[in-house]
Chains A and B, each alone.
Chain A
Amino acid sequence: MSSPLLSITKLWSSSIGKKIVVALTGIVLTLFLAGHLSGNLLMYVGEHAFNEYAYFLHHMLHGGGVWIARIVLLVCITLHIVATVQLTIQNRNSGTKYQVDGTQRSSLNSKLMIWSGLTIIAFIIYHILHFTARVGNEYNNPDLYKVIYDGKEYHNAYKMVIDGFSWFPATLFYVIAVTLLCSHLSHGVASIFQTLGLRSSKTDALINKGAKLYSIIIWVGFISIPISVMLKIIK
């Protein structure tokens, strides 16, 4: 094996090394959420703005941009999942179990990480089938989802979002998943700092508050859209 490859293998096989991978991929995914949310909030600006934004995403770098983003995200998500699942399995088999529970400090969010994470994966798959692959719906039908602005043809992503969230079960699953995402982030974002060695007891309170604030912004931002659709605030 060549030496750089050997170093990567060594890092991956060590507990801290694998956690560093989780933290770094976590940063990418966390920042992606902020970008995704700011795009989504254009739903409040209106149909035109949202559809133009969707058009931009699909056509930047001649359509290559969206694929670069997809590949980067896919790699990050895969590494994040494989590492955390392996770490969790090791942890579950490490042997600390008592007759009486003496938990003193672990937060509920921290204990739920693997379950919130796995729900988020299930949601991401559903979400991609729903809005990206557009399986089992009519969103690719140009008769229904085409708009023309200034003689140029756009996909009506705006209408797609409204139709997507007009079905209650979809909205419900969405809200549950985003809520678990919020829980996942509140422990995850704070953990990034500890794992990368950037936290200390002096900055602890600030980091925890920042992580909570960030996850609440993500939560409110994302769920406000289906709720606004349901309440006909966006129509």
Chain B
Amino acid sequence: MAKLNLTLKIWRQPSPDNDGWIETRKANGIPTEASFLEMLDIVNQEILEEGADPIHFDHDCREGICGMCSLTINGVPHSKEEGVTTCQVHMRKFNDGDTIWIEPFRANAFPVMKDLIVDRTSFDNIIAAGGYIDVRTGSAPDANSVPIPKDQADWAFDAATCIGCGACVASCKNSSAMLFVSAKASHLNTLPQGQPEKDKRVLAMVRQMDEEGFGNCTNQYECEAACPKLISADNISKLNRDFALASAKEAVATV
């Protein structure tokens, strides 16, 4: 069984108010079949045995569906592997003797809480502003009672695979949340169920996004490259279009 000896350069920060620093730590004897987070578990076990404070990082499902894990590995959120979350990165992708830089998802709108854990409440606020539909409660409607053309269903489904991890923000040179917001908005805006509140939704979500202090998209598509769910920047194009139309309608309505 192959083992790796690695040097880790890890961001440590005791609390939001403290300055952080890069801590250098050896990680020896890491099995290649370990996942990246298991590698950190092994390191944390050693730290605990030393009686020190373990490295704090976010995780939950560890199978790429929940969106909790959030590490920037060698400068790339979720590592440079395409279409995977941090928890799906495996140590067999690294070589013996490698130095690995591990940092939090960085953006002012994602303040560091401790070490590698960031606060992504700003995303929740955007969803609360418009990422929902108003429906009558009651029993579930019959499947296919609302016919949806295949291309629309596909688009909405692809957009809906966004797990809200925030890698798009963390990879963006401007910390823009456009890929996330556009995925969430266009998921609902594409479906018949989302039509009644479409304009209201687009305006509210974009305004909340600006409010939270995310930057402005400069069409460089770093987000697309970093996104573990391969969400397409076509959604951003659609959001721009929907926002322009909604703004125009709003302007006309107020005259």
A residues bordering B, Cβ < 8 Å?
A: 3-4, 6-8, 10-11, 13-20, 87, 90-91, 93-107, 110-111, 113, 187, 190-191, 193-201
Contacts and interface: CB of A to CB of B under 8 A. Distances in A.
Contact of A94 (B107, B225, B241): B107
Given A6-B254, A187-B219, A104 B173 contact: no
Given A99-B75, A99-B103, A93 B108 contact: yes
Contacts of B238: 197
A3 B255 contact: yes
Contacts of A19: 216-217, 240
Given A17-B247, A99-B103, A104-B171, A191 B232 contact: no
Nearest to B170: A96
A111 to B, nearest CB: 8
Contacts, number: 158
Contact of B244 (A95, A193, A197): A197
Interface residues of B, number: 56
Interface string B70-82: 0010111100100
A173 to B, nearest CB: 27
B250 interface: yes
B240 A16 contact: yes
Contacts of B215: 15, 90-91, 94, 96
Interface stretch (B28-36, B84-92, B202-210): B202-210
Contacts of B207: 14
B75 A100 contact: yes
Contact of A95 (B76, B175, B219, B225): B175
A97 B174 contact: no
B214 A113 contact: no
B171 A91 contact: no
B247 A10 contact: yes
A122 B208 CA distance: 36
A104 B76 contact: yes
Interface of B: 9, 22, 72, 74-77, 80, 101, 103, 106-109, 169-176, 206-207, 209-210, 213-222, 224-226, 232-234, 236-244, 247, 250-251, 254-255
B246 to A, nearest CB: 10
A105 B222 contact: yes
Contacts of B250: 7, 10
A99 B218 contact: no
A113 B109 CA distance: 24
B250 to A, nearest CB: 6
A195 B240 CA distance: 6
Contacts of B173: 91, 96, 103, 106, 111
Nearest to A99: B101
A172 to B, nearest CB: 30
A40 B234 CA distance: 38
A96 B225 CA distance: 16
Contacts of B234: 199-201
B93 to A, nearest CB: 15
